[in-house]
Structure 1
Amino acid sequence: MLPSSLWGLMALAGSAYADITVYSQVPLGQAQTTTPSVSDAASPTQTPPAYNDTILIPPAPLNPPVGNFNLTPKYNAADVVGLSRTQSADFFGFSIEMSVINQLIGRNSTHFFPPFLNFVGNIVERAGRIRIRLGGNTQEFAALVDSLPGGHAVAKAVGAAAQNPTLTPSILFTRDLFYMCNNISNLVNVEWYFGIPFNTTDWRLEIAEESQRILGDRLGGLQAGNEPDLYEAHYHRTAPYTPQNYHDEVGSLISTIASDDNVPQKSVLIAPNLQGTWTPEQVWDTNFIQDFNNSIKILAVEHYPNNNCYFTVGVGQPQYPQDVFSTFLTHTAVVGLVQPYINSATIAQQYGKPFMMFETNTASCGGFAGVSNSFAATLWALDYGLQMAYTNFTGALLHFGGQNVFYNAFTPPPTNQSSFNQWTPGTIYYAALVIPEALGTSNTSQVMDLGGNEFTPQYSIYENGVLVRMALFNYISDPSGANNYVATITPDGGQVPAQVRVKYLLSDSVATKNNITWAGQTLGTKFQADGRLKGTMSTVTINCDQTANSCSIPVPAPGFALVFFTDSPPLEMEDSAITFATTAYTKTVNTAFLDPSLLATSNGMSGKTRKLGSTSKGSSSGSLSSRLYAPGLVVLVAGVAGGWLVRRAIRC
């Protein structure tokens, strides 16, 4: 059925800083226009950024309105000049700071979070797999230990922050980190990336050795340094530290790997992972690719369009959310983000290498209140992703911090609320849902930027040499409907079908963080999500005029439309879709009683199917704990004395 917001249109139709995870500080200067309740935050006096409810003022609607469009995309890819390289559906993945693994993923290989699996599983269902990097600044000082208190696979080292001006702690990890990753990949198809510590050239290769031994071909690659162009500024190297110095250190690392029999796969490195202080060309000019071609698997960079570092670590100039809001609502800004990398993407193709944006999001140092967690960020990330695909990137990873950032794709509740609150979806997550459906799973998709108005970009997407989909944006927020538009599409060199199907990404304003739907489904709002989409997935069928060889597609303001031209229907959820439900207690001593009917709706199962036990310590029954290492399927802790249980559940 056509969304109600589109009925009217149908009538008509007939220099960024590196990202950091900041500790012990709360971002200041962030206008908050809503007043949180005490239950909104871990602290009754301060809402952590991940749960912030700031609502900004959208830019004024265009006057005169944007108007309608007549689009004539080429039907045959062979006729398109400037078409991208072939792309895969897993273009968007996630980059997770090592320091928040316990918070976001789980404690160890037998105890991880079903909502995390659900959020990841939604992407895998659409893309076939997802790429996840565990790293960031915290990877540089990571050290292997035999065990950690409480059975944790990862822990922050106490007193290590002084080594980093960004207050980022060092990380301790056990081999169980890689078993945890492998067990997750047994449930949802994840390819993992890690980084070799670069804080010293006395190379520690434990991450390389253990990840290859345990993960095998589920390891996608290992970063050779993270943002080396900031090593001097972050006091990781003495001045001057130049691209040639980095070249020489990578050469030393490669020599060490070559002599290590415990690292059987030698061609696994990802480099140079610059954040923008150096240009990629400065590294290429050292003969970097030629010298290390046999060892470099992926060429990669990292970039954010802006930063909020002044209010977090006192670096740079103050940036205010309302002032920067409009910069995330134009196609021109997105095009500008990729321009510095077009030459490098071409070079990567010449050498047969993937070229990835290995870490990105709305703004470094945590993003902006009311921007990074708004529908504007959804549209921006979707446009940015398609623009990167068009300019021959082969993938991009959206970064996660902890609860102290605004831009996470999803965030668990504060620890002291985990017994009664669920997770919080981020607005940027919806872009990660849409991208794989836009690119398709054929691995032959190619993207063309058709331009359009600055506020209404449009892309054509080809598979196996013909037009199969179109992506239509509307960045304008206009409750009057005056800036809704209709795109009349007439393929040049091909015939339109009798009808097309359209999926819509919608919200009532670019400033909202709630009421976002993709094809009629939503994840819910703050503290209400478990990673499973709610509602029935729906597509809109629009009849085409085959005599005029055109299809008229309405696009609301704001909104996004993905148009499917082929006979193959777009993805529809099947009843057999696999999700993961919470079925065990997280607290076992002095717990409060809750009505089982509440548990039936909040925890994904009926109360009667839950195993109950005494609240007295030591008298619980039915406790079971079992670890199953790779390559077997993970079995998580179950019973009253346990934590979370992962099970395969049928979506109804």
Structure 2
Amino acid sequence: MPRTFLLLLVALSAALVTAAKPPVNVSFPEQPTREQTNVVDDNFIGISFELSSFDTLWGHRRDSIPTAMQNYLGNIRARMTSPLRIRVGGNGMDASIYKPDLKDKMLELTDPEAYFNDIPTDFGPVLFEVMNGMYDKVGPMQFIVGVSMRDPDNFSNGVALAKDAEEILGSRLDALLLGNEPDLYAGHGKRDNYTLDMYIPEIGEMISLMESDGLLKEKHIGGPTICCGWYVGVSSHLAELLLSLQQYPNHACSGFNEKNTNISYYLTHNNVAEYVHWDKVGVDRAKALGIPVLLSEYNTVACGGSNISSTFAATLWAIDAGLKAGASNYSAIFLHTREHDIRYNLFDPPTPETPMDINWRTGSPYYSALFLSEVTSVYGSVIVDLGLDGSNTNPNSTVATYGIYDDGGTSRGKLALINYENTASRNFTIPADTSGDFVEYRVLTAPDVREEYEITWAGQTVRENGILDGEQETIRVDCGGGCTIEVPGPGAALVVLWPDQSDQFFRGNSTVAPLNASSSATSTLSSPLATLVTVSFAAILLLLW
């Protein structure tokens, strides 16, 4: 037998074996269990920005806001009814000084030799003016702003920041987060021997200073925005608190290695629970007390990402991790983006100096945000990890499956189905009596898990100026007696089970700042495959768990 023919035969046999995986039978109970009560709003997904590069993304002044960023944010904002969540903070803000008199520019970098993961700035009220300007162009947003806790001798600077933020942003200011990763202050040489027990009274000191200056009348504040070194619980007899955490499954702070460049880690649902549940005890306790918990920053690899962070594998993983957080008592999640050319960024201008140019690069995690923006219901949703195909226990499983109970968690509304397979589609069988007479679904796909640019959501790809290009595709399948949803490999599908009764997909053109010749179309295809809490601060305390 000729060698070439033999190789072809082997390849064909392997492909047939891959394609022969049995369908996944969907089991989606009619109601969530008593423990599955975490209702998330339809603005569950937000975006987190590093302060030090904010002007290169949002523009230097209110009259020079990049049209590409307007469209990137507008695409997500259009897919939710509640205000789009935006966080500005990070290490950059925690290292920076607020200058109330700096009114001719948003910010200026103060240390050209600074470590790239901790870039200090001086910044002023133009920051809040630009945020207001973006709100006016894109639509309702709610802003979360970080306040530095690094220098205990300069808490008055945080008061000045809070004062201008409240005055300029008004009701658009959702919260102030006190400190950024204070659990790393000691290890990074910022404050020797700093502990959670030292952080607790400093919260009270900062709050007292703000209140004595007439601030915090609505008391939107939170913390500790920890990532790594502290585990936090909340004692049951104390007041409510907005709790903020941030976490990455891997980091490249000391360079690339086998662990942070291993794409296979991000291609199985089996790893997601360990990542999301790193402080499960504290999160669950907060939930029991009615305290919202924010995953205020997440992405694939901390300290700028690695070779996998810009791939379609990262897109699917960020969706999986985000949904798992929603199923694990988090109230909201924020995908993080930073300065130009960071690998996990959601978007990049051509250069830091040319944000007004239309030729931006769209990062693969942006498609995660697009997908997640259509998952939850206008009346709130409960997200449940269905764990089908043994995906929670079997590291060889290549699927992730979520059920979304809409209308405040009272009725089955959607399915989110992820297929991590690189070469083969996977069928998901929906039984009778799970849906209406028909279902509608949209597909997220790319040619390969390592693809970085040719990614489509509902038939559309983001092109120049942040504009979704292509005909918007929604697939309709008869399903009264059950049906099969084919999810391409690699890919994901979002299935609306009662499209004539429950939430609808966003349809239409979400472009805020169109080019002269831009247009968008919509079609429905047939398929043969069948509020932040008000916080009392008199007794705020976090306990080391």
After superposition, the CA RMSD in angstroms is 2.5
Give, as a single letter, the amino acid of the residue that structure 2 aligns with 1:244. D
Q: For the structure 1 residues 578 and 557, does the alpha-carbon distance in structure 2 shift closer, same or farther, using more than 3 Å as the test?
A: closer
Give the structure 2 partner of residue 36 of structure 1. Answer: none
The 5 A counterparts of 1:107-506 are 107-128=60-81, 129-148=83-102, 151-158=104-111, 161=114, 168-187=118-137, 188-202=139-153, 203=155, 204=157, 205-238=159-192, 240-261=193-214, 263-265=215-217, 267-281=219-233, 284=234, 293=239, 296=241, 298-311=242-255, 318-320=256-258, 323-369=261-307, 371-415=308-352, 422-452=359-389, 453=391, 454-464=397-407, 465-478=410-423, 483-490=424-431, 494=433, 496-506=435-445
Shift of 1:251: 2.0
Q: CA deviation at 1:334?
A: 1.1
- Are residues 1:513 and 2:452 paired? yes
Look up the equivalent residue of 1:473 and give its one-letter code. Answer: I
Which residue does the alignment assign to 1:90?
Answer: 43
Please report how far the alpha carbon of residue 106 of structure 1 lies from its aligned counterpart in structure 2 after TM superposition: 0.5
Following the alignment from structure 1 to structure 2, what is the Cα–Cα distance between the partners of residues 391 and 146?
40
Q: State the Cα deviation string for residues 513-562 of structure 1 (Å, max 9, x = none).
A: 122111111103xxxx2111111211111122x4xx31211112111111
- Which among 35, 47, 54 is matched to residue 101 of structure 1? 54
Distance 2:164 2:48 in 1: 20
Q: Structure 1 counterpart of 2:224, which letter? A: P
2:151 alignment partner, SS class = coil
Confirm whether residue 522 of structure 1 aligns to residue 461 of structure 2: yes
Q: 1:347–1:272: structure 2 CA closer, same or farther, 3 Å change rule?
A: same
Q: Which amino acid aligns with 1:178?
A: F
Equivalent pairs counted in the alignment come to 490
Measure the CA separation in 1 of the matches of 2:16 and 2:61.
Answer: 52
Q: Could you say which residue in structure 2 is the equivalent of 1:573?
A: 507
% identity of equivalent residues: 28
User: Match for 2:150: what amino acid?
Assistant: N
Distance 2:203 2:128 in 1: 24
Structure 1 equivalent of residue 533 of structure 2: none
Deviation, structure 1 residue 83: 2.4
Distance 2:352 2:309 in 1: 23
CA 1:429–1:93 in structure 2 vs 1: closer, same or farther (change >3 Å)?
same
TM-score, normalised to structure 2's length?
0.84
- Identify unmatched segments of 5+ residues in structure 1: 1-59, 312-317, 583-599, 606-652
The 8 Å contact of residues 153 and 176 in structure 1, kept in 2 or not, is answered as yes
Q: Which amino acid aligns with 1:126?
A: R
State the distance in 2 between where 1:571 and 1:367 align.
32
- Is this contact kept in 2: 1:141–1:198, CA < 8 A? no
Preserved CA contact (<8 Å) 1:468 1:564: yes
1-side partners of 2:369 and 2:353: how far apart?
A: 29
Letter aligned with residue 273 of structure 1: T
SS in 1 for 2:427: strand
How far apart are 1:199 and its partner, in Å? 2.0
Per the alignment, residue 6 of structure 2 pairs with: none
Q: Could you tell me whether the CA contact under 8 Å between 1:82 and 1:448 is conserved in 2?
A: no
1:413 aligned counterpart, secondary structure: coil
CA 1:533–1:200 in structure 2 vs 1: closer, same or farther (change >3 Å)?
Answer: same
Q: Assess if the C-alpha contact under 8 Å between 1:192 and 1:218 holds in 2.
A: yes
User: Which of 13, 16, 23 is residue 68 of structure 1 equivalent to?
Assistant: 23
Q: Show CA shifts across 1:543-596 (max 9, x none).
A: 22x4xx312111121111111111147324336x551147xxxxxxxxxxxxxx
Deviation per residue, 1:601-642 (Å, 9 max, x gap): 6xx69xxxxxxxxxxxxxxxxxxxxxxxxxxxxxxxxxxxxx
Aligned CA distance change for structure 1 residues 237 and 417 (closer, same or farther; 3 Å): closer
- Answer yes or no: is the 8 Å Cα contact 1:411–1:423 preserved in 2: yes
Q: Which has the larger radius of gyration?
A: 1
Is the alpha carbon distance of 1:290 and 1:260 closer, same or farther for their aligned partners in structure 2, counting shifts above 3 Å?
Answer: farther
- Residue 507 of structure 2 aligns to which amino acid in structure 1? M
Query: 1: distance between equivalents of 2:412 and 2:303?
Result: 40
**How far is the alpha carbon of 1:342 from its aligned partner?**
2.5
Contact 2:62 2:129 in 1 (8 A): yes
Report the 3-state secondary structure (helix = DSSP H, G, I; strand = E; otherwise coil) of the residue aligned with 1:496: coil
Matches within 5 A, 1:49-60: none
Aligned 8 A contact 2:381 2:404 in 1: no
List alignment gaps of at least 5 residues for structure 2: 1-13, 392-396, 520-545
1:596 match:
none
Alignment deviations for residues 262-281 of structure 1 (CA, whole Å, 9 cap, x no partner): x1436222211111112224
The question of whether the paired residues in 2 share the 8 Å contact of 1:307 and 1:364 is answered with yes
1:390 and 1:449 in contact (8 A); partners too: no
**Deviation (angstroms), 1:379:** 0.5
Q: Distance in 2 between matches of 1:495 and 1:300?
A: 36
Q: 1:159 and 1:533, CA in 2 relative to 1: closer, same or farther beyond 3 A?
A: closer
Secondary structure class of the residue paired with 1:580:
coil
TM-score for the superposition, normalised by structure 1? 0.71
Shift of 1:366: 0.5
Structure 2 counterpart of 1:533, from 431, 448, 468: 468
Q: Is the 8 A contact 2:28 2:386 kept in 1?
A: no
1:470 and 1:445 map into 2 onto residues whose CA distance is: 12
- What amino acid is aligned across from residue 422 of structure 1 in structure 2? N
SS at match of 2:244: strand
Distance of 2:102 and 2:16 partners within structure 1: 57
Q: Which amino acid aligns with 2:406?
A: E
Deviation at 1:81, TM superposition (A): 5.5
Greater strand share, 1 or 2? 2
Q: 1:486, CA displacement in angstroms?
A: 1.4
